[in-house]
């Protein structure tokens, strides 16, 4: 059963990532991979929020973690895409953009996780 839940969540997370990333890139496209950047930050926030709520505040059937934490958020966040895009920026000589993407994604991702934990602990 857990594999089915992970698979369903993964399908939904991957498609959400694709559609949101495509929309962001079409709307705000440019040299910087904004879609991946936004998805990494929002994924960090949402996963931290969900895990904090379900481990500290709201008792929840563990199957929801398979569906959402492992499946959806595991497919929605795009660290592997982030790595390849940052490498391509480096490879093309866009060092400042590459460093901005790497440092910004990590820094703001950690900030998103921190705000997610604080939000979960404060609101619920």
| Residues 42, 50: Cα–Cα separation, whole Å | 12
Mean pLDDT for 68-89 is 93
pLDDT band (50, 70, 90) for residue 124: confident
| Residues 123, 79: Cα–Cα separation, whole Å | 29
74 is in an annotated binding site: yes
Q: Give 33-66 pLDDT, tens digit per residue.
A: 999 999 999 999 999 999 999 999 999 999 999 9
77 is in an annotated binding site: yes
The helix/strand/coil state of 62 is coil
The helix/strand/coil state of 76 is helix
| Residues 103, 14: Cα–Cα separation, whole Å | 24
Q: What are the residue boundaries of the structural domains of the chain, listed by start?
A: 2-123
């Amino acid at each position: 059963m857990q594999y089915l839940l992970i698979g369903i969540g993964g399908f939904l997370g991957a498609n959400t990532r694709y559609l949101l990333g495509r929309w962001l890139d079409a709307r705000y496209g440019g040299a910087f991979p904004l879609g991946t950047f936004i998805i990494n930050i929002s994924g960090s926030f949402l996963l931290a929020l969900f895990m904090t709520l379900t481990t500290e505040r709201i008792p929840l059937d563990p199957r929801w973690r398979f569906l959402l934490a492992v499946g959806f958020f595991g497919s929605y966040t795009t660290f592997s895409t982030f790595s390849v895009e940052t490498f391509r920026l480096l490879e093309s000589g866009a060092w400042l953009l590459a460093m901005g993407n790497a440092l910004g994604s990590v820094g703001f991702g950690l900030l998103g996780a921190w705000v997610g934990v604080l939000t979960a602990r404060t609101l619920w």
